[in-house]
Structure 1
Amino acid sequence: MTRLLLDVDTGIDDALALAYLASLPEVEFVAVTATPGNAGLRQVALNTLAMLELCGRPGVEVAVGAEVPLSVPLVTTPETHGPQGLGHAVLPPPSGSVSARHAADVWVEAARAHPGELTALITAPLTNFALAIRREPRLPELLKRVVIMGGSFYHQGNTTPTAEWNTHVDPHAAKEVYAAFRGLPEDRLPIVCSLDTTERIEMRPEHIRLLSAAAGCAVEELVLPEQPEGLRSTSENPLVRHLSDALRFYFEFHRHYDQGYLAHVHDFFAAGVAAGTLEYSTRTATVDVEVESTLLMGTTVADYRKLWGHPPNARVVSGNNPEQAFQELIRSVGALAARLYER
């Protein structure tokens, strides 16, 4: 059993990550916390509650934390994820409600109650995680494993020429988090899924067609570049339909930025790393984040050769297997959709 604490900014690829994790019987959601990023805080929380319920995981505690980054103004990204964060998808309103607890308290109390048992997955800006570490500096030692989606090292940024979105939204939080892991044993260092490898996880129309087939849909789910933008799915399977509508928006966004009719589903890959189901390799490094330069704000730097003379504080993913990742996604989420919504 993998017992997960998650922090998300649900978004399209966060939603796919939640669906994938929900499809794994061996994954327990201890709690999910929300950070603003892809959308504002309240919308992120509602998206998260609705997605968990759609995926057959009602009753999971969803808590909110910081409303803004530590030191810079909040920016969100409706052009990337749509006005409500889930592209063209409009999920049923959730029946559950947001927890009264603060996200940082959720993390600290859970880690103290279950030392060495919980895997942390952060697919959002690191604001809530940084606040939790401020409240409990031993948090990096109390968690069993930490997986972070963020950063860009030897790869073009996706927000500025050098910065990745999550780190750019709250670079000061990222800097604090990486500093907190300095000097810990290698098996306690966070696994960092940066753009260097997450942009290899390219979801394409064929993957959606195969997902619908795995779910047992009677009609092929076709999301094609020649179709009108904004076309809504008519799939009889609610999970397939909502994922299709969300991903169509993501395909359209990537095409607008000359990347092709595809979607980089970063957070799904990080989720698979946290769950232990996807293939990957890592390199140990000392990571730091630029927070002073206007030109380079949010840039992550990895010292693999110990030139700074500081101890390592991260394991940066250096290789992965996209073909294996999508085979696993289609098999597992397809089975979940079939199980939940059999005709």
Structure 2
Amino acid sequence: MSPQKKLIIDTDGGVDDAQAIYMMLDSTVYDVIAITCVMGNSGVEQVVRNVLKILRAANKLDIPVYSGCALSICGQNVMQNSYQGKDGLGDCQSIEEPDVSVLQTEPATDALVRLTKEHPGNITLMCIGPLTNLATVLKMDPDFSSRLRDCFIMGGNYYGKGNSSVCAEFNFHADPEAAYRTLEQIRCPTTLVGWEICLKNGIAWDKYHELRRFPGKRNQFLKNIEQNPVAFSIEQDWKYTLADEILAACMLRPAEVIRETEHVYATVELEGKFTYGQMVVDWHSMLKKDPNITIVTEIDKNALFSILLNTAQNGI
């Protein structure tokens, strides 16, 4: 068996982040060597607590956790995502507060620079929150991304279907300037899962209940934090919508999960009245710029569910 790839997860500690993190912890392909926290679903101090709760339920508090950017590039605070709850983790009152003394004292941005220098070319970066930490590091150290093996991003939208504004996806809309800088400056192979593919691959509720029927500490944790978002989704007549989990599945079993991709140039709108934060894709090479990302445009939903089921069965 080939050695595991070293993985850093950059997260804003939301409900879907939790399941995606568990998917990566179960992987025989990746070894999670650090988790960096960024403002997004809640303020960064709350994100830290959320991540520690997620890891505690998986008996993985040995993984180093670092606190990152508390404000967007332009100095704005957290954007409220009511779907995830005020605390960003479903507002579940039954989960005990974690011991934050285990938090690393080194800032997340410094840790990202250090770790890539210690393991040049051997680290994959998985971004499942706003891109503020990554954009900050790219400004601090322009060579940072050249030391990454590759980067995977959940964010953006390629047909202008927004969930945080009329036209923008939450992670990009939380810090459009960071998303813009990332797409303009990143210099490693970069794969992106956007919001449209999440909308297309919602799971029926009988399938969701099949996932949550298994015992175990992790599964009970997921069931608890999902209670309010699931109730709201059912009330809205939505399916069980996945986001970060789709990115995780694409990373874990790309040959099985990914059906179609597009290698294109994309940027982020920073001036539009209604389109601020929207990812803009140059589908027909009108801007004459080299492609900078690979967008996943079609996946195999059955393969996705198989991975989710495997994670549920390993619920500890």
Give deviations 1:255-311, integer Å, cap 9, x for gaps.
45x4x2433220011122233455113111111111122321101101122100111
The residue aligned with 1:194 is: 194
The residue aligned with 2:284 is: 305
Q: CA–CA distance in 1 between the matches of 2:300 and 2:123?
A: 26
Of 90, 94, 97, the residue aligned with 1:93 is 97
1:252 and 1:261, CA in 2 relative to 1: closer, same or farther beyond 3 A? farther
- Tell me if 1:279 matches 2:257: yes
- Tell me if 1:67 matches 2:70: yes
The residue aligned with 1:317 is: 296
Q: CA–CA distance in 1 between the matches of 2:229 and 2:179?
A: 26
| SS state at 2:145 partner | helix
1:208–1:244 Cα contact (<8 Å) kept: no
- Tell me if 1:107 matches 2:84: no
Q: CA–CA distance in 2 between the matches of 1:247 and 1:2?
A: 30
* TM-score, normalisation: structure 2: 0.91
| SS state at 1:319 partner | strand
1:14–1:268 Cα contact (<8 Å) kept: yes
| SS state at 1:329 partner | helix
Alignment of 1:142-291 (within 5 A): 142-181=147-186, 184=187, 188-213=188-213, 215=214, 217=215, 237-255=216-234, 258=236, 260-276=237-253, 279-280=257-258, 281-291=260-270
Query: 2:240 corresponds to which letter in structure 1?
Result: A
1:204 and 1:246, CA in 2 relative to 1: closer, same or farther beyond 3 A? farther
1:24 Cα deviation after fit: 2.2
1:51–1:91 Cα contact (<8 Å) kept: no
Structure 1 window deviating more from structure 2 (119-128 vs 204-213): it is 204-213
1:115 Cα deviation after fit: 1.2
Aligned length: 309
Give deviations 1:196-227, integer Å, cap 9, x for gaps.
212233244323432244x3x4xxxxxxxxxx
- Tell me if 1:54 matches 2:57: yes
Of 279, 299, 309, the residue aligned with 1:330 is 309
Q: CA–CA distance in 2 between the matches of 1:248 and 1:167?
A: 26
Structure 1 window deviating more from structure 2 (196-205 vs 279-288): it is 196-205
1:8 and 1:39, CA in 2 relative to 1: closer, same or farther beyond 3 A? same
Q: CA–CA distance in 2 between the matches of 1:140 and 1:319?
A: 27
- Tell me if 1:31 matches 2:34: yes
Give deviations 1:114-142, integer Å, cap 9, x for gaps.
11111110010000000111122112211
Q: CA–CA distance in 2 between the matches of 1:21 and 1:36?
A: 21
1:330 Cα deviation after fit: 0.9
Structure 1 residues not aligned, in runs of 5+: 218-236
Query: 2:200 corresponds to which letter in structure 1?
Result: R
1:75–1:169 Cα contact (<8 Å) kept: yes
Structure 2 residues not aligned, in runs of 5+: none
Q: CA–CA distance in 1 between the matches of 2:193 and 2:164?
A: 16
Q: Give percent identity, aligned residues only.
A: 23
- Tell me if 1:14 matches 2:22: no
1:88–1:245 Cα contact (<8 Å) kept: no
Q: CA–CA distance in 2 between the matches of 1:261 and 1:314?
A: 30
Q: CA–CA distance in 1 between the matches of 2:176 and 2:13?
A: 19
Of 84, 95, 102, the residue aligned with 2:87 is 84
